[in-house]
Amino acid sequence: MAGIAGPRAKVSALELTWYMRGQLLRDADWAGLAHSVEVRPPLVDSGLLRRLAPLLVSPHPPTKGDLAGCLAAPLPADLRARRKTGFTVPVADWHMRRTGRRGRGLRDWAVHVYGEIERRA
């Protein structure tokens, strides 16, 4: 860790070089593939990291706005100022495709899945 100043920067460097590369990305990949689940691993882009590195070693952790400003072609101001839109899991659609009827969400899906398990036992 020679040449890296500050404990937060040293921990970040260790996490990037040991934990994320050697463990987190590999485990996320095999676990997602093993269970047919899409996994959203952390963004890993060496060019972006080079531009973000000075902010990572500064006294204050970078914000999402700082990250957006480090892009080679910065995001337009209206996108950076936009409120979060969220993300929903389409459970009702899955339920409809599997059962042919419109469910109310997680409860109906859970009842369906539990029923499938009971029938197979």
Q: What is the 3-state secondary structure (H, E, C) of 64-86?
A: HHHHHHCCCCCCCHHHHHCCCCC
Q: Is residue 86 part of a domain?
A: no
Identify whether residues 14 and 70 lie together within a single domain: yes
Identify whether residues 70 and 33 lie together within a single domain: yes
- How many independent structural domains does the chain possess? 2
Q: Is residue 66 part of a domain?
A: yes
Contacts of 100 (CB under 8 A, 6+ apart): none
Identify whether residues 76 and 102 lie together within a single domain: no
Identify whether residues 14 and 69 lie together within a single domain: yes
- Residue 113's domain comprises 91-120
Q: Which residue has the tokens 């459970």?
A: 91
One-letter amino acid at 60 equals H
CA distance 81 to 21: 32
Q: Is residue 30 part of a domain?
A: yes
Q: Express each pLDDT in 10-42 by its tens digit.
A: 888 888 788 877 788 788 888 888 888 888 776
Q: Which residue has the tokens 């389409």?
A: 90
Identify whether residues 44 and 100 lie together within a single domain: no
Name the pTM for this structure.
Answer: 0.46
Q: Is residue 27 part of a domain?
A: yes
CA angle 29, 30, 36 (to 5 degrees): 90
Identify whether residues 17 and 59 lie together within a single domain: yes
Cβ atoms of 95 and 103 closer than 8 Å: yes
Q: Is residue 115 part of a domain?
A: yes
CA distance 109 to 9: 45
Q: Is residue 2 part of a domain?
A: no
Q: Express each pLDDT in 88-108 by its tens digit.
A: 777 777 777 777 777 666 777
For the beta carbon of residue 41, count every other beta carbon within 10 angstroms: 13
Q: What is the pLDDT of residue 61?
A: 79
